[in-house]
């Protein structure tokens, strides 16, 4: 099937089998290998990308479902010369060890901050009518779908907090 997806600001037309996941389309067809295939079951978050500004596990979504959508991968977040504030914070706070989960963590963190800004509740949100109190518990709950096998969680929380202040 032909599908056109705007990836990192560039319209890309793909001719893919309808069973191809968005992750495989990005990695195998477009050669954007920043998004990682960790579990291929939506359990680890290594494949997290932003679709129309909302974070998704790209391994659980078919590429043809995203015809006309805007997809942002880690390659579209910043460049080596001009890092995004979230990427800078991950470096500054030493929020990675092996780095395998880092692209998904960064994309997820950006999507999560957008959710908080729009006052989307989470399991941790106590009062659904009040502005969300962005506590560390709230942050951890919202990022719980992204696994770090190296257990750099304290540094990841510090990096997100740091970048959130800069992005506010």
80: in domain: no
pLDDT at 139 over 80: yes
Burial of 100 (0-12, 13-18, 19+ CB in 10 A): middle
Output the domain CATH number for residue 152: 1.10.150.120
| Cβ within 8 Å of residue 69, ≥6 positions away | 5, 6, 51, 52
Beta carbons of 47 and 58 less than 8 angstroms apart: yes
What pLDDT, in 10s, does the model give residues 7-30? Answer: 999 999 999 999 999 999 999 999
Half-sphere exposure of 80 (CA within 13 A, CB side): 0
What is the C-alpha to C-alpha distance for residues 74 and 103, in angstroms, rounded to an integer? Answer: 6
Beta carbons of 61 and 5 less than 8 angstroms apart: no
Output the domain CATH number for residue 51: 3.10.20.30
Beta carbons of 103 and 34 less than 8 angstroms apart: yes
Average of per-residue pLDDT across 125-144: 93
Structure confidence at residue 84 as a pLDDT band (50, 70, 90): very high
Burial of 11 (0-12, 13-18, 19+ CB in 10 A): exposed
Predicted structure pTM score: 0.95
What pLDDT, in 10s, does the model give residues 35-63? Answer: 999 999 999 999 999 999 999 999 999 99
What is the C-alpha to C-alpha distance for residues 50 and 120, in angstroms, rounded to an integer? Answer: 16
Q: Containing domain of residue 162, as a range?
A: 85-167
Domain limit, last residue, from 75, 102, 133: 75
If one counts every other C-beta atom within 10 angstroms of the C-beta of residue 23, the result is 26
Structural domains in the chain (count): 2
pLDDT at 68: 98
């Amino acid at each position: 099937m032909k599908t056109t997806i705007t990836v990192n600001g560039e319209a890309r037309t793909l001719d893919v089998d309808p069973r191809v996941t968005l992750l495989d389309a990005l990695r195998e067809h477009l050669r954007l290998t920043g998004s990682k295939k960790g579990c291929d079951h939506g359990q680890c978050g290594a494949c997290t990308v932003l679709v129309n500004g909302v974070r998704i596990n790209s391994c659980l979504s078919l590429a043809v479902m995203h015809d006309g959508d805007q997809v942002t991968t880690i390659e579209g977040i910043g460049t080596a010369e001009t890092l995004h504030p979230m990427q800078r914070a991950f470096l500054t706070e030493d929020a990675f060890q092996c780095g395998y989960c880092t692209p998904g963590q960064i994309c997820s963190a950006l999507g999560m901050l957008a959710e908080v800004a729009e006052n989307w509740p989470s399991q941790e949100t106590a009062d659904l009518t009040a502005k969300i109190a962005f506590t560390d518990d709230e942050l951890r709950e919202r990022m719980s779908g992204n696994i770090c096998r190296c257990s750099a969680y304290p540094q990841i929380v510090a990096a997100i907090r740091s970048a959130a202040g800069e992005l506010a």
